[in-house]
Amino acid sequence: MKKLNILLLFLTLLYFNKNWGQRGVRIGYIDMNVILENVDEYQTANTLLNKKVEEWKKEIELQKLKLKKLEDALNAEKALLTPNLISDRELEINDFAADIVNLQSQKFGPNGALIQQKTKLLKPIQDRVLGIVREIAKERKYDFIFDRSSDLVMLYSAKNYDISDLVLRKINSQDRIKNRKKDLEKRKEQIKKLKNN
């Protein structure tokens, strides 16, 4: 339904703009996945996130191994235990299994730590990309810019409307400027230290 509403709005704007304006509608698109894969900050954030995920998986696997040991121990001792003791141990094992499921949900569930960490690490990078996209849209007078990697269906797109490379160049130039400023600051500090000595 949302896609249909967006499409109807787009077609309506296209119709009115074509009839009332002299200039045609300018449309561009980006591929957010391509852009993010080529940004160093994203690679670093992704690496950190993958390390966290591996730690969580190991933690869950250790808990599953403990659960298996408890189950094996109960099965081995069942012949020697009273029905009440067996029942108590089964309750403990079921509680421990529920704790493992809960831990998995806390880490990998829809509102789990993985989603929260991903949002925390990637949101600033995505916000930066979107800011640059807005700048380019204003500079180049684009009326619409779509993200090819999102849910919006794009059946066809000519390569000349793809501004992903332009966004990447702008990000890289901003990074180079930032690095140059850091280098200048370091040099200034080194010069001050030399003058003080």
Find all residues with CB under 8 Å of 42, minimum gap 6, and list them. 36, 122, 125
Across the strands, what pairs with 162? 29
Integer Cα distance of 31 and 148 in angstroms? 5
* Tens digits of residue pLDDT in 77-130: 888 888 898 888 899 999 999 999 999 999 988 888 888 888 888 788 888 888
* Tens digits of residue pLDDT in 32-50: 888 888 888 888 888 888 9
Residue type for position 127: D
Domain boundaries along the sequence of the chain: 27-196
The pTM assigned to this predicted structure is 0.58
Is 162:46 a contact under the CB 8 Å cutoff?
Answer: no
